[in-house]
Structure 1
Amino acid sequence: MLACGAAAAQSSPAGYRVVGYANGWNPVQTKDAGKIDTLIFAFAHPQGGKVTLADRDVKPLQQLIALKKINPKLKVDISVGGWSVGGFSEAASTVAGRQLFADSAAELVAAQHADGLDVDWEYPGHHESGIQSSPQDEANYTLLLKAIRTSLDRVGAAHGRTGANHYTLSVAIADGPFVDHVDIAAINPYLDWFNLMTYDFVNAMTPTTGHHTGLHASKLIAGDGRTTDRAVQQFLAAGVAPNKLLIGAAIYGREFADVKPDHNGLYQAFGHYQGGHNWPELKSDYINKQGYVRHWDADAQAPYLWNAKTHCFISYDDPQSIAAKMAYIKAQHLGGIMYWEQTLDPSDELIDDMWRGLQDR
C-alpha cells in the first residue's frame, strides 16, 4: 500500500483528469489509487421518485470513499441510473417530481460523505433500453439538472461544501442520435463536466461490427457513424468548453459471431452478439491466441481481432489505442479521460497507461 504522500503526489497529471466508474474495489488496485482523480460509484437508482442507494451498495461505496486515506485528493461521486434503469422521465415530468429527485439526490450525497452526483439517464427521449420516454424529455432533462444543481448547492452550503469544494454535478452522456433530445447548450451551465460515453458504438443492436470505442473514423465506417472525435466535435459545436469534456475508454471488448469475412470482419454484418471480455481475459485468451489475430486500423487508431476460422470479431481498447486517445486529449485541450469500469482491470495496466499518457512530455 502506498503512503499518503506518495499517492497524493501522483494525482492530477498535468492538469488533466483520470475519472473512473466503479461498482466495487479490488484491494490489489490500491497501489494505484493516487493516479485517479475521481471515482464514480455505479449505481444509485430512482425509486418512488427518489434517488436511493440499495443497502448492499453502501459498503462498496464506502470502500471507495475510504481510499481518501490513501489519496486525500481523491473525489468519490455517486452515479444514478445506468442502462435500462428508468424512472427519469417520470420524475422529470413535473416540478414536484424534479424537486423530490433533486433533494433526495443531494441528501444522499451528503449522507454518504460523497463529493458529487453523476446523472446517467440512458437516454432522454429514447426507450431502446426499455425505459419510459416522452417528447417532453428534452426540456425536462434541462429542468431536472437545474433542480439538482440548486439542491446540491443548498445542501452543500449546509455542510461547508462551497467554492472549489462544492458538490459537483456531471452527466454520463452519449452522442450522435442519442442526444437528439438533449439541449447540450442549455444543460452546460449546470454541469462541472461531461463524461462522454465514447464506447459501445457497436453492440448487439447495431447492424454491423466495427470499432466500439474508436477514436477516428475508419475508411469502412458508414456515413455519420459514431466515433470519439465526432462526439467531441458535436459537443464543442454546442458551446461546451474543451476542458469540460472527458472522453471514454473501455476496459473491455465486444465480440461478434458469424461475421461476414470481408475486411477481416470490420464493419460487417454479423449473426449474433457473442458477449464482452475484460482486458485481462483479452490478453490471456484472445489477442493473437486461439486464431484471433490482432489488426490495427491506422485511420480509426483502434485495434481489433479477427478469427478467420470461426468468423468471430472483437473490438476493444489496448495500450496503443489508449496512447492515441491521450495524445488526442492533449491536442484538443480536453479535460481528461473517463473509463468503464474499475474492477475490469485488476492489474491497472490500462489505467496506468491513461495516467502516464497524460503526463507532460
Structure 2
Amino acid sequence: MLWTNKMLLYVVFLSVLLVVSGHDVCPCERPELCQPIRGEREFEVFVFDVGGKTWKSYNWSMVTTVAAFGKYDTDLMCFAHSKGARVVLKGDIHVPYMVDQANRTAWIKEQVRLAKKQFMDGINIDIEQAVADGSPEYYALTALVNETTEAFHKEIPGSQVSFDVAWSPNCIDKRCYDYVSIAKSCDLLFVMSYDEQSQITGDCIAMANAPLNQTLKAYDDYLDLKISSMKLVMGVPWYGYDYPCVNLSQEGTCYIPKVPFRGAPCSDAAGTQKPYKWIMKQLSSPTSSGRLWDDVQKAPYFYYKDETGQTHQVWYDDPQSLVPKADYVMAKGLRGIGMWNGNILDYSDDPVARQQTTLMWNALLGSKMG
C-alpha cells in the first residue's frame, strides 16, 4: 500500500512538472522526434495543411515546413519531424486588440505555450486585415511580429517565425503594412501570390488568379524595397476560381456579378474557389470546353455549362503556369516556394490523378524538374 502511494505521489509530481514545463508527454514512438527542428534548409518548400490525413501522400523529399491550419495532429508532427521538416502554428489576432502592449504580450505568451505543448517549431502569423498606413495598428503590427520572433527564438531555439503578406506590397486590400520592418523582424515572408483579383477596378470580368507578369512584377516591388531575397517565399495557388458568367462576349470575355471588396467595385468573390482535383475532373466533363490557354496572362482556363445551362469560366494554375514562377524563384535566389494548400490535389490511386499530382509537386522546383 505504501509503495502504491509513493508511486501515486511520483506520478502526480511528474504530471505537475510536465504542466509547469508546458510540455505534454511526447506522443511519438521515438522521443527524439519531439525535439524542435533546428537545421536550416537551403531551400524552403512551405506547405499549408488544413487538416485530414492527405499529408501522408505529400512529397516529403521536398517539404521543409508545414503550417498546421487544421486540427492539431500528433501523427503529422511526429512524421514531419522524422523527415526533418518543421511544423508551425497558425497565429491570428484581431488587429485593434494588439495595439495594447499587454494584449500582445499575453497573446505571444499563449502562442509559445501552445507551440511547446504541441512540440512545434514556430509560428506562421496570418493577419490579412486592413491596416491604415501610419495608424496605431500599423506600428502595433510591426511590434507584434518583432516581439513574437524574439519570444519564439528565445523559448524554442531554432524556431521559425513567418508572416503572410499580400501578393504586392502596394496596400493590396488596404493592407498597408510596414513590410520592410516586418521582414527584418521575422525569419521569412510568405507572399500570397494568389487572389490577385480581390480588387477589380476595371471591367468586372473573370481573370487569372495569379497572372504571370503581374505576379513577378510584385516580387520586383518587394525587392526594390531592399527586402532580402532570402526572406521571401513565393506562395502559389493549387486552386482556381469558378465564375458564373452574367454575360459572355463573342471574344469569350466572361462578365461577372459585381461583388465589392475593400473599396473596389468588383472582386474574385463573385467566383467560387475550387480545388485542383475538382478542376481536373470538371475539365474532362462532357459540358467542358477543354483546357484553353491565355497567352497574355499565361494561365489556363476553360468553360462549362451547369445543370441550369449557365456558362461558367474557370481560371486556375497548372504545371505550365507554375513552372515560370518557380523559375523566377530560382533565378532571383528567393528563400523558397509554397502553396495554398497541400491537401487539395487528388491523392487517390487513380493513375491519371497520380500523374497530375506528381507534376504539380514537381512544378514547385521549376523547369529543372521538367
What TM-score does the superposition give when structure 2 sets the normalisation length? 0.73
**1:290-309 map, 5 Å:** 290-307=287-304
User: 1:24 touches 1:342 (CA, 8 Å); kept in 2?
Assistant: no
Amino acid at match of 1:170: S
For 2:284 and 2:210, how far apart are their aligned partners in 1?
17
Aligned mate of 1:352, from 339, 361, 366: 361
Share of identical aligned residues, percent?
Answer: 18
Q: Which amino acid aligns with 1:119?
A: I
What's 2:163 paired with?
A: 171
- Cα separation, 1, equivalents of 2:58 and 2:69: 22
Q: Deviations over 1:130-176 (max 9, x none)?
A: xxx993211111011111112112212xxxx2xxxx11110111133
Corresponding position of 2:25? none
> What is the aligned counterpart of 1:251 among 238, 251, 255?
238
Residue 193 of structure 1: how far off its partner (Å): 0.9
Q: CA deviation at 1:344?
A: 0.6
Q: Which among 196, 203, 215 is matched to residue 228 of structure 1?
A: 215
| Structure 1 residue 297, shift from structure 2 partner | 2.2
- Alpha-carbon distance in structure 2 between the residues aligned to 1:244 and 1:289: 45
Alpha-carbon shift at residue 359 of structure 1 (Å): 4.9
Equivalent in the alignment of 1:334: 334
Contact 2:123 2:162 in 1 (8 A): yes
1:75 correspondence with 2:75: no
**CA distance, structure 2, for counterparts of residue 69 and residue 96 of structure 1:** 34
Give deviations 1:46-90, integer Å, cap 9, x for gaps.
Answer: xxxxxxxxxxx23x3x2321223651x211111223xxxxx4213
- CA-based RMSD of the aligned residues comes to 2.9
Aligned to 1:53: none
Q: Deviations over 1:230-259 (max 9, x none)?
A: 321221122211122111211111111124
Determine if the alignment matches structure 1 residue 237 to structure 2 residue 229. no
Question: Which residue of 1 is the match for residue 113 of structure 2?
Answer: 107
AA aligned to 1:256 is Y
Q: What whole-Å deviation, never above 9, does each CA across 1:97-147 have from its counterpart, x for those lacking one?
A: 111112211222122111111110012417xxxxxx993211111011111
Q: Which residue of 2 aligns with 1:200?
A: 195
Tell me the equivalent position of 1:285.
Answer: 282
Q: Is the 8 A contact 2:96 2:137 kept in 1?
A: no
Note the C-alpha offset of 1:293.
Answer: 3.6
Distance apart, 1:355 and its partner CA: 4.4
What is the CA distance between 1:327 and its match in structure 2? 1.4
State the alpha-carbon separation in 1 of the partners of residues 134 and 243 from structure 2.
32
The 1:97/1:350 distance shift into structure 2, 3 A limit, reads farther
Q: For 1:307 and 1:105, how far apart are their aligned partners in 2?
A: 45
Counterpart of 1:7 in structure 2 is none
The alignment status of 1:311 with 2:311, answered yes or no, reads yes
TM-score normalized by the length of structure 1: 0.75
Question: Counterpart amino acid of 2:238?
Answer: I
**Aligned residue number for residue 52 of structure 1:** none
Residue 212 (structure 2) aligned to one of 209, 215, 228: 215
| Residue identity opposite 2:121 in structure 1 | D
Q: Per the alignment, do residues 69 and 232 of structure 1 end up closer, same or farther by CA in structure 2, a change over 3 Å counting?
A: closer
Following the alignment from structure 1 to structure 2, what is the Cα–Cα distance between the partners of residues 264 and 307?
A: 12
Q: Is the 8 A contact 1:258 1:271 kept in 2?
A: no
In 1, Cα distance between equivalents of 2:142 and 2:81: 36
8 A Cα contact 2:171 2:177, kept in partner? no
* Largest Rg, 1 or 2: 2
For the pair 1:184 / 2:172, whether they are aligned, the reply is no
Contact kept, 8 Å, 1:254 with 1:316, in 2: the verdict is yes
